[in-house]
Chains A and B, each alone.
Chain A
């Protein structure tokens, strides 16, 4: 079965500090991984994706993610957090048996304090 886990419901970080939002996955075949961000009362916005190639993926708004195949992880990172980064973050994976299906994690609320 395909699945995504985001083990932390909430992450708190001070502005200017580095942040990490964790994601682990389980999928048959090659993983195709995505991060999305959701601001209050809005739809999801795409941040970055891993399809193939370099394990470090760079995306929008200074975010990056590290793909680790042996640990089946795809953690989202940013070197210096901003208060405006406060939002709900979702990790998603394509179904390895049916690429038209996606599985999302439960979401991690990021709070960046001034």
Chain B
């Protein structure tokens, strides 16, 4: 049971480039989410999904796209990278319901120059 996996671990982009951060989970969780972590600001929710084909915006969605074609995968796309998107990105998943905690992936450290 691998839990939540993320690739790549590190990435450097130039301003304007696009890329996709991959996230997968093998726990059959319906709920998946993406966060960014910035110093002194904790984690902020970018997008979330409550099942295949269903996504919605979080607190800081601008500049990011998501889709959910399968229960297992929830990729995050940066359409045109900006230096302000330099951050550590975490994917998480959980069972659906208020009682359940989230399981986090190891993170992707992204630098945009």
Contacts and interface: CB of A to CB of B under 8 A. Distances in A.
Contacts of B106: 42-43
B43 A90 contact: yes
A98 B44 CA distance: 15
A97 to B, nearest CB: 13
Given A99-B98, A104-B42, A43 B104 contact: yes
B90 A43 contact: yes
Nearest to B44: A104
Interface in A59-102: 90, 92, 94, 99-102
B56 interface: yes
Interface residues of B, number: 26
A105 B42 contact: yes
B101 interface: yes
A100 B42 contact: no
A52 B98 CA distance: 11
Interface in A29-56: 32, 34, 36, 41-46, 49, 51
A108 to B, nearest CB: 10
B103 to A, nearest CB: 7
A43 B4 contact: yes
Interface of A: 4, 6, 9, 32, 34, 36, 41-46, 49, 51, 90, 92, 94, 99-107
| 10 A-B pairs with least C-beta separation | A43-B104, A104-B42, A104-B43, A46-B101, A44-B104, A106-B42, A43-B106, A32-B98, A105-B42, A43-B105
19 contacts: A4-B42, A32-B98, A34-B101, A36-B104, A42-B107, A43-B106, A44-B43, A44-B90, A44-B102, A46-B102, A90-B42, A99-B98, A100-B31, A100-B50, A102-B33, A102-B45, A102-B102, A103-B45, A107-B42
